[in-house]
Amino acid sequence: MRIIAGRAGGLKLKSLKGREVRPTLDRVKESMFNIIAFYLPGAEVLDLFSGFGSLGIEALSRGAEKADFVEIKKSHLKIIEDNLKKAKLYDQAELFNQDVYQYLKSCSRKYDLIFMDPPYEKDMTAEAVKLILANNLLKENGLIISEKSAAEKAEEFEGLSIIKNKHYGNSLLTIYKLK
């Protein structure tokens, strides 16, 4: 797992072996960030189901102003912290050791970009998106970038337009824009 581009491009990130976390493949991440490149400079980012922080750290490396990481597992949060320090991006981040749904219910911030890469085939995306919309957590023209199993379908949500929906191997990348 590495940072693909930006000021920390090429840096290898720390992770844990095993099947507990499934980092976004470089080709999926590269495609994702090429699509959203226009939105990154100065963006405030939320990385939900953060895992080891790859998506939020990539966004910071490519010019996002700030990133919040929400991860329930303390061991993973420690790795995110280490990765942010290694990339010299720690000062632009805030880490939340919390359940994603609880965070979304209590959050009062607004974001330009919200990444979510929940465990595959657990049907966790729809509930998160509904909470994002119900609590008005996206700024005007904000994006939700969702990665999930290709076996799952991209849901449609009132108030959001799908601007990209593409399969990459066993992953489905869906990018929603606030209407």
Count of the separate structural domains present in the chain? 1
Gap between the Cα atoms of 64 and 62, Å rounded: 6
Tell me, what's the pLDDT at 30?
87
Tokens encoding 152: 């799952």
pLDDT digits (tens, 9 = 90+) for 3-35: 788 887 777 777 766 555 555 667 788 889 999
Tell me, what's the pLDDT at 119?
79
Range of the domain at 73: 26-178
Is 6 domain-assigned? no
Is 16 domain-assigned? no
Per-residue pLDDT of the chain (179 residues), as tens digits, is 777 888 877 777 777 665 555 556 677 888 899 999 999 999 999 999 999 899 999 999 999 999 999 999 999 999 999 999 999 999 999 999 999 999 999 999 999 999 999 877 677 899 999 999 999 999 999 999 999 888 888 899 999 999 999 998 888 999 999 98
Tell me, what's the pLDDT at 20?
54
Q: Which pTM was predicted?
A: 0.92
Supply the CATH number for residue 69's domain: 3.40.50.150
Tell me, what's the pLDDT at 7?
87
Is 12 domain-assigned? no
Write the DSSP assignment of the chain as a string of letters.
-B--SSTTTTPBPP---SSS--PPPHHHHHHHHHHHGGG-TT-EEEEES-TT-HHHHHHHHTT-SEEEEEES-HHHHHHHHHHHHHTT-GGGEEEEES-HHHHHHH----EEEEEE-PPTTS--HHHHHHHHHHTT-EEEEEEEEEEEETTSPPP--TTEEEEEEEEETTEEEEEEEE-
Is 19 domain-assigned? no
Tell me, what's the pLDDT at 28?
80
Question: Do residues 100 and 72 lie in contact, with contact meaning Cβ atoms separated by under 8 Å?
Answer: yes
Gap between the Cα atoms of 141 and 179, Å rounded: 7
Tell me, what's the pLDDT at 40?
96
Is 146 domain-assigned? yes
Is 2 domain-assigned? no
Is 15 domain-assigned? no
pLDDT digits (tens, 9 = 90+) for 70-83: 999 999 999 999 99
Is 20 domain-assigned? no
Tell me, what's the pLDDT at 16?
65
